[in-house]
Amino acid sequence: MELLVAICKDYRAVEDILLGFVELGITGATVLEGRGMGQIIGEIPIFAGLRGLFPGSVTDSHVIITVTTRDRAREAMGLIERVAGPLSHPGTGIVFTVPIGALDGLKPELP
């Protein structure tokens, strides 16, 4: 199993990503709202000039977290990039997975 974490800068993409997860058989995810480092540093007057170093720092982030199989995680990563746009563009977001060693309490995914 894998923990998939996606940080998305476009709030409009989050709903489409979650609907895509359902189509992939991923039946649960948690979405958290967050603020990036650039937003916080940009609010400190002495560092306000550094805001330009942090692409996308003027908008909130949406962190999508889910646990799924390795294969579905790879499919989900492709889905996220199709919906959110090329993650290689600064300020779009990032996606990564982390292997899970132990797990309890997860509802079974759809086949």
- Which two three-digit tokens encode residue 3? 């923990």
Convert the pLDDT of each residue in 3-46 to its tens digit: 999 999 888 999 999 999 999 999 899 999 988 776 677 666 66
- Which pTM does this prediction carry? 0.82
Within-domain flag for 15 = yes
Distances (CA, A) of 66 to 22, 28, 75, 89, 107: 12, 6, 13, 24, 12
Of 55, 66, 58, the closest CA to residue 93 belongs to: 55
Within-domain flag for 108 = no
pLDDT at 80: 97
Tell me how far apart the alpha carbons of residues 111 and 52 are, in angstroms, rounded to a whole number: 45
Tally of domains in the chain: 1
Within-domain flag for 83 = yes
Tell me how far apart the alpha carbons of residues 15 and 90 are, in angstroms, rounded to a whole number: 21
Convert the pLDDT of each residue in 30-88 to its tens digit: 999 988 776 677 666 665 555 555 555 556 889 999 999 999 999 999 999 999 999 99
Within-domain flag for 26 = yes
- Which two three-digit tokens encode residue 80? 């996220």
CATH number at residue 67: 3.30.70.120
> 49 phi and psi, to 5 degrees?
-70, -15
